[in-house]
């Protein structure tokens, strides 16, 4: 039986054009994070199983790809007749980049700066059922700041994200902002008890999907007291939605301030949001931050400001995050202040592809040097090196012979210019440069070839 | 029991300084390959087990990390009582980058250019016993050209490798070159039959480790006829070794030419080597190629020129490769001409670290903007964005307060300049810039701050 040459189900090959797009996005993200003083971190793709299990809930645990024990260790488990997905494996592929960050922070805390600003763009694995747009190996792009409670952190993270999306030429996106303690305060003034907070958050978070009436039904369905729902909903409704014309953060904040009255945690939350807006005023995020009291973000670990990036142009979000205190200390059993964001790398790729935002005209190669015959091959190769030394990306055709085949190769690779160096050109010290798009051809002296190509490329 | 926070045995975390070094090496390699017209390829870390098994010999198969089946599929194997490392797993972590290339070539051949020049810098996994300098997850850096028999390919690959090592500032390295058909011809004229060729190659390949007398002993021990050994060794000995003063490729080639006489395959091999030297004459490899008839490279799949990079400064090699015909077609059951090279990414890292070749003074951040107090925080953040807009990498301290703590943070992160922006500076429209190395401090107008920093950084 011949072996299939497709990648395993849920996995992808990336041919050069795909890779070029992925590298472009990763490069822009890296450049921005570096310019903001974030530092790169690398962790292994494989973690011990005991470091992974119990961190993602029961459902998450089931999605961890497990690596089979080997040799005697494996044989012992098989012989015992008690093989299970836990006993047969001793390691797994990482499921996210947060648990490894927590492990690294616990292990190397003394070697890290007092405030640790790290980014990591790397694959993670989840044994989800493969379906359109959902893969078992995908890149996550995480940025986190560990060790500071200051709103400067939130301002820096949101500024970097806005900067990245602007450089990638996304238009019309918004960073929705809310605060967990503000939500808590709104529930308190509405009479929703603390133990029902998660239920209420899950319902509120669904506004996008089920609409305002759906949220009310869901709140009631989850056992929230109807009086409390009657108090909470008008507060949320009366805040302008970020999609509304004439939206103003100032107006929303004033409305919420009057709603929460004297509830202490709520006032602190509002002060933090105001400070964030102030700190962001000169940043790339200045025109992108929208206070949105409906934003809940389901995950229960957030403790402060929360964020989500959305746009009218596309459904769902392209990233989210917020402040969380309990997670980074999970291995060292202590609270460590942290704020982080996960940017939807794969989602960005899909959106940019769908919208034709990639400049695929750029194949990465500026010119192809052709090889007329065996006798001129060495000369052609030398020209190639001269052009490279001038900073050009240049390919040389490998097999002397018909120009037609060499032009075809240039077309296959989307190379914009072709250099011709036949016996006449060699004798005259010239190079003919053909523009593959227009078919125009010019002859230049060999010493001017690089300069001419740089000029034509521009 | 508390969970260990160390990475799994044989795996590594890379803190920011490690990552910066790894990224630097990967960036230089990528830039050079791109400037030579090589294209990036991405393949999944996980491959189907049937695509991996049987490609690396029995020993290799044992070193493949296998991924446990899941759910019902797993339960059926457990229930059958016939669990083995093959039946319990259905996928594995890739073991190298060559088998995935062969799979990709078979699957997408029609979408790829007629000559496919690809590079891939990516992790591979081997379940070797961990030991000093040997890891279970490590990067491979492969470059291959598929689809051409021309020596232009060999010239391009060796030129790119020499270019990379020169840009990384390696000195004194040599690219040893030999040809499998030349070795075959030398054995033929010495009277070593074809079926003993692999035995002879393994012995010759050990010259570095066991010396000339050791090679003779090993050849005899492997059953090579003493007369043949007496004929072969003088041919090899009389060729100048690349380490010899006054070595000349010309002299070695002439010596070998007279040795092989009229053996057809040997003459073709010598012609190819001569052509390679001619093609390389204007390339970065021109002064780095050394014909070395002792070079054998154990792997049996090479069919043409073979290469290995060595230096007197360090033992072993930092990469090797050659022309191979059978491998890329393994999935499509056809011969496909190919030539490739695997550069020792991890070895390069170790050598550069040992020799202090990394510029660790560059922490990636040009300056830290301090935050005097709450009132000036917003102003400090705005200054940070002004400096970033000028192309500088700038961090801002997160918590207003004592300069001492902020200077300590700058030192921890090896940040060379600190910008001070207290109430006086804000009032005067100035910024004080402190050189953290010398302690010198200058005051500049805020609008000149970026220019001044760029000047001081140089």
pLDDT in tens, A340-398: 999 999 999 999 999 999 987 678 899 999 999 989 999 999 999 999 999 999 999 99
| Closest alpha carbon to B296 in B164, B153, B185, B177 | B177
The confidence band for B289, taking pLDDT boundaries of 50, 70 and 90, is very high
Residue A265, both tokens? 């945690």
Distance CA A386, CA A365 (A): 15
| A1, pLDDT greater than 60 | no
Distance from CA of A243 to the nearest CA of B (A): 27
Query: What is the CB-side half-sphere exposure of residue A173 using CA atoms within 13 A?
Result: 28
pTM as predicted: 0.95
Angle at CA of residue B135, ends B91 and A11, nearest 5°:
25
Mean pLDDT for all residues in chain B: 93
Secondary structure (3-state) at B437: coil
Residue A351, both tokens? 């959106």
Residues of chain A with pLDDT > 70, as a percent, come to 99
Tell me if chain A has a CB within 8 Å of the CB of B13: yes
Q: A194 exposed, middle or buried (CB, 10 Å; 0-12, 13-18, 19+)? A: exposed
Angle at CA of residue B56, ends B52 and B58, nearest 5°:
105
Tell me if chain A has a CB within 8 Å of the CB of B316: no
Interface of A with B in 29-68 (CB under 8 A): 34-37, 39-48, 50-51, 62, 65-68
- Please judge whether A78 and B83 are an interchain contact, meaning their C-beta atoms are less than 8 angstroms apart: yes
> Distances from the Cα of B75 to the Cαs of A58, A84, B68, B80, B428, in angstroms?
18, 8, 11, 8, 75
Structure confidence at residue A299 (pLDDT): 63
Tell me if chain B has a CB within 8 Å of the CB of A362: no
Structure confidence at residue B7 (pLDDT): 97
- Please judge whether A15 and B111 are an interchain contact, meaning their C-beta atoms are less than 8 angstroms apart: yes
Angle at CA of residue A208, ends A206 and A214, nearest 5°:
55
Distance CA B330, CA B345 (A): 26
**Residues with Cβ within 8 Å of residue B340, at least 6 apart in sequence:** B98, B142, B143, B144, B145, B157, B321, B322, B324
Interface pTM (ipTM) of the complex? 0.94
A143 strand-pairing partners: A119, A341
Strands (E) located in A224-326: 289-291, 302-311, 319-324
Residue A152 has its nearest CB partner, among B22, B88, B371, at: B371
Residues in chain B, total: 458
Distance CA A21, CA B42 (A): 12
Secondary structure (3-state) at A328: helix
| Contact criterion met (CB below 8 Å) for B106 and A5 | yes
Strands (E) located in B325-408: 338-343, 367-369, 394-396
Distance from CA of A261 to the nearest CA of B (A): 25
Structure confidence at residue A78 (pLDDT): 92
| Contact criterion met (CB below 8 Å) for A120 and A89 | no
pLDDT tens-digit readout, A266-294: 999 999 999 999 999 999 999 999 999 98
Distance CA A342, CA A138 (A): 13
Domain definitions of chain B by residue range: 16-45+94-354, 367-457
Task: Kindly list the residues from chain B whose CB atom is less than 8 angstroms away from the CB atom of residue A323.
Answer: none
pLDDT tens-digit readout, B82-134: 889 899 999 999 999 999 999 999 999 999 999 999 999 999 999 999 888 88
Fold match, A16-45+94-354 / A367-457: no
Closest Cα in chain B to A284: B385
CATH number, domain A367-457: 3.40.50.800
Beta carbons within 10 angstroms of residue A411's beta carbon:
13
Closest Cα in chain A to B127: A70
**Residues with Cβ within 8 Å of residue A367, at least 6 apart in sequence:** A387, A392, A393, A394, A395, A415, A416, A417, A418, A419, A433, A453
pLDDT tens-digit readout, B30-45: 999 999 999 999 999 9
| A174, pLDDT greater than 90 | yes
Residue A371 has its nearest CB partner, among B118, B152, B364, at: B152
Q: Under CATH, to which class is A16-45+94-354 assigned?
A: alpha beta
Angle at CA of residue A369, ends A365 and A375, nearest 5°:
155
Residue A16 has its nearest CB partner, among B23, B39, B150, at: B39
CA torsion angle B414 B417 B422 B428 (round to 10)? -170
Instruction: Please name the residue ranges forming H helices in B180-300.
Output: 180-190, 197-204, 207-221, 226-238, 249-260, 264-279
Distance CA B416, CA B51 (A): 51
Structure confidence at residue B299 (pLDDT): 63
Residue A44 has its nearest CB partner, among B7, B34, B282, at: B7
Secondary structure (3-state) at B156: helix
| Contact criterion met (CB below 8 Å) for A321 and A341 | yes
Average confidence (pLDDT) over B378-405: 94
Average confidence (pLDDT) over B238-255: 89
Structure confidence at residue B133 (pLDDT): 80
Residue A442, both tokens? 């010019």
């Amino acid at each position: 039986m011949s072996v299939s040459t497709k990648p395993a189900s849920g996995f992808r090959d990336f041919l050069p054009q795909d890779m070029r797009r992925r590298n472009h996005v990763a490069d822009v993200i890296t450049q921005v994070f570096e310019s903001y003083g974030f530092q790169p971190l690398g962790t292994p793709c494989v973690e011990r199983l005991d470091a992974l299990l119990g961190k993602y809930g029961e459902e998450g645990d089931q999605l961890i790809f497990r690596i089979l024990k080997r040799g005697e260790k494996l044989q012992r488990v098989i012989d015992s007749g008690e093989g299970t997905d836990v006993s047969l494996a001793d390691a797994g592929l990482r499921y996210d980049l947060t648990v490894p960050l927590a492990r690294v922070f616990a292990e190397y805390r003394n070697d890290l700066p007092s405030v640790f600003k790290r980014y990591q763009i790397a694959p993670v694995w989840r044994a989800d059922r493969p379906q359109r747009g959902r893969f078992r190996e995908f890149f996550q792009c995480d940025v986190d700041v560990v060790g500071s409670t200051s709103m400067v952190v939130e301002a820096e993270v949101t500024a970097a994200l806005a900067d990245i999306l602007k450089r990638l030429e996304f238009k019309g996106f918004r960073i929705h902002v809310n605060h967990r303690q503000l939500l808590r305060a709104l529930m308190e003034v509405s009479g929703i008890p603390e133990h029902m907070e998660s239920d209420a958050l899950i319902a509120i978070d669904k506004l996008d999907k089920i609409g305002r009436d759906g949220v009310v039904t869901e709140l009631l369905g989850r056992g929230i007291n109807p009086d409390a729902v009657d108090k909470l909903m008008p507060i949320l409704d009366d805040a302008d939605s970020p999609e509304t014309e004439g939206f103003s953060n100032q107006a929303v904040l004033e409305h919420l301030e009057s709603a929460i009255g004297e509830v202490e945690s709520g006032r602190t939350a509002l002060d933090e949001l105001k400070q964030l807006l102030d700190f962001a005023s000169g940043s790339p995020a200045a025109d992108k931050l929208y206070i949105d009291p409906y934003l809940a973000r389901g995950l229960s670990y957030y403790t402060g400001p929360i964020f989500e990036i959305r746009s009218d142009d596309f459904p769902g979000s392209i990233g989210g995050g917020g402040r969380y205190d309990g997670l980074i200390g999970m291995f060292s059993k202590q609270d460590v202040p942290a704020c982080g964001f996960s940017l939807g790398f794969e989602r960005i790729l899909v959106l940019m592809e769908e919208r034709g935002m990639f400049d695929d005209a750029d194949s990465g190669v500026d010119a192809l040097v052709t090889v007329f015959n065996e006798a001129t091959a060495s000369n052609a190769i030398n020209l190639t090196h001269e052009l490279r030394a001038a900073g050009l990306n240049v390919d040389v055709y490998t097999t002397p012979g018909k120009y037609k085949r060499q032009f075809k190769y240039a077309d296959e690779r989307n190379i914009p210019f072709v250099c011709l160096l036949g016996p006449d050109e060699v004798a005259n010290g010239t190079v003919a440069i053909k523009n593959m798009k227009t078919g125009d051809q010019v002859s230049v002296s060999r010493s001017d070839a690089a300069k001419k190509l740089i000029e034509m490329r521009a």
